[in-house]
C-alpha cells in the first residue's frame, strides 16, 4: 500500500485544492459580478465590496411581457422537459429491443446512433432553417424540440442500453411463475429496476437541451421560442448606454445554480451515465 506520510498528504491536499478551486472560480466569479452594483463593476476585484440585488430585480421587472428573461426561461424549461420525455420514451423502446432481443440490424442501429452523436449540427442548420420557414416551424417550440430529439437520442439510447443490459430480466419470469400477471411482473419488478437508468438518461438529455446554443440562435427569432442561452447572447442593458454585464451575470447565475445543485445531488448516476456507453461501446 501507499505510504501515508505527511509529504504525500500535503501533495494530495494541494492537488485536490487546485482541482476544486479551478472548477469553482468561474461560478463564484459570476455570482460576484451579478452582486456588484454598477459603479463597482469595473473595480477588477474578485470579491464584491458591497452587495446589491438590483441585477436580479431587473431580470424579472415588468412581469412576463416586459422582462427580458422570464419568457426565455419558460421556453428553456418547457422545451427541455418535453424533449426529455419524448426522447426517453423512444430511447427506452429502442434500448429494450437492443438489450433484450436478437434481431438483424442491431449493430447498425448502435453504429448509426454513434455516427449521429458525432454529426456536426451546423451541417443541418441551413436545411432546417429553410424547411422550418416553409413548414411554419421556424421560431416555434416544435422547431427546436425536433432537432434536440434527434441529437439527444443517441446519448439516451447508449445510456439506457448499458443500464438495461445489467437488469436481471429472469426476475420477470420468476414473478410470473409465482403467479404475477405479465403486466404486474413488469410494473412491480422491471420498472423499479430500470428506473435509475431511465432517470440518469433523462438528466443527461435535459442538460443537453438546456445547453444548446447553435439551434437556439439559428431557428428562433423572438421570445416566442428563444431559450436562455440564445437570449443571453442578445441581452441589452437597462438603457442603451449601460452594458448588460450585470444582468447577463445574474441571469447566468439563475440558470446555473439549480442545475449545479441537481448535478451534485445525482452525481453518482451522472458519472455512471456519462461513462456507460463509452466503456462498453
Residues 30-89 that bind another protein (CB under 8 A): 30, 33, 41-42, 44-46, 89
* 136 is an interface residue for another protein by CB under 8 A: no
Cα 210 from chain centroid (whole Å): 5
Q: By CB under 8 A, which span of 49-57, 60-68, 111-119, 134-142 interacts with another protein? A: 111-119
Q: Which of residues 141-170 bind another protein (CB under 8 A)?
A: 146-147, 149-151, 153-154, 157, 169
Can you list the positions of beta strands (E) in 134-173?
none
Q: Please, which residue, 6 or 63, has the CB nearer to another protein?
A: 6
**Contact residue for another protein among 79, 113, 137, 189 (CB under 8 A):** 113
Q: How many CB atoms lie within 10 A of CB 51?
A: 11
Q: By CB under 8 A, which span of 49-57, 65-73, 134-142, 241-249 interacts with another protein? A: 241-249
Binding mask 166-185 for another protein (x = CB under 8 A): ---x--xx--------xx--
Report CA-CA distances (Å) from 188 to 99, 110, 180, 233, 256: 20, 29, 9, 47, 36
- E strand or H helix that includes residue 134: helix 122-135
Cα 277 from chain centroid (whole Å): 17
The three cell numbers locating residue 219: 431557428
Q: Please, which residue, 70 or 131, has the CB nearer to another protein?
A: 131
Min dist. Cβ of residue 181 to another protein (A): 9
Q: Which of residues 3-22 bind another protein (CB under 8 A)?
A: 4, 8-9, 12-13, 15-16, 19-20, 22
Question: How would DSSP label each residue in 14-43?
Answer: HHHHHHHHHHHHHHHHHHHHHHS-GGGTTS
CA separation for the pair 278, 229 (Å, rounded): 28
Q: Please, which residue, 60 or 235, has the CB nearer to another protein?
A: 235
Min dist. Cβ of residue 240 to another protein (A): 18
Q: Which of residues 256-275 bind another protein (CB under 8 A)?
A: 256, 259-260, 262-264, 267, 270-271, 274-275
CA separation for the pair 271, 112 (Å, rounded): 24
Rg (CA), the chain: 23
Q: Which of residues 193-232 bind another protein (CB under 8 A)?
A: 194, 198, 207, 210-211, 213-214, 217-218, 228-229, 232
Q: Is the Cβ–Cβ distance between 31 and 253 less than 8 Å? A: yes
Amino acid at each position: 500500500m501507499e505510504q501515508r506520510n505527511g509529504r504525500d498528504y500535503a501533495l494530495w491536499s494541494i492537488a485536490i485544492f487546485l482541482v476544486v478551486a479551478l472548477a469553482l472560480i468561474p461560478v463564484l466569479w459570476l455570482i460576484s459580478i451579478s452582486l456588484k452594483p454598477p459603479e463597482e463593476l469595473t473595480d477588477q476585484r474578485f470579491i464584491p465590496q458591497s452587495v446589491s440585488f438590483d441585477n436580479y430585480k431587473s431580470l424579472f421587472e415588468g412581469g412576463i411581457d416586459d422582462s427580458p428573461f422570464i419568457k426565455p426561461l419558460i421556453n428553456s424549461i418547457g422545451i427541455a422537459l418535453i424533449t426529455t420525455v419524448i426522447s426517453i420514451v423512444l430511447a427506452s423502446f429502442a434500448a429494450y429491443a437492443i438489450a433484450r432481443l436478437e434481431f438483424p440490424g442491431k449493430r447498425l442501429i448502435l453504429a448509426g446512433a454513434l455516427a449521429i452523436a458525432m454529426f456536426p449540427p451546423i451541417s443541418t442548420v441551413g436545411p432546417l432553417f429553410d424547411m422550418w420557414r416553409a413548414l411554419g416551424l421556424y421560431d416555434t417550440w416544435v422547431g427546436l424540440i425536433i432537432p434536440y430529439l434527434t441529437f439527444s437520442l443517441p446519448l439516451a439510447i447508449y445510456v439506457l442500453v448499458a443500464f438495461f443490459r445489467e437488469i436481471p430480466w429472469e426476475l420477470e419470469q420468476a414473478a410470473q411463475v409465482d403467479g404475477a400477471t405479465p403486466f404486474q411482473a413488469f410494473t412491480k419488478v422491471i420498472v423499479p429496476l430500470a428506473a435509475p437508468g431511465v432517470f440518469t438518461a433523462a438528466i443527461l438529455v435535459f442538460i443537453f437541451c438546456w445547453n444548446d446554443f447553435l439551434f437556439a440562435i439559428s431557428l428562433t427569432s423572438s421570445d416566442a421560442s428563444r431559450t436562455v442561452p440564445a437570449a443571453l447572447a442578445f441581452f441589452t442593458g437597462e438603457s442603451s448606454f449601460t452594458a448588460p454585464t450585470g444582468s447577463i451575470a445574474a441571469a447566468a447565475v439563475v440558470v446555473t445554480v439549480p442545475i449545479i445543485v441537481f448535478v451534485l445531488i445525482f452525481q453518482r448516476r451522472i458519472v455512471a451515465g456519462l461513462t456507460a456507453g463509452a466503456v462498453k461501446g
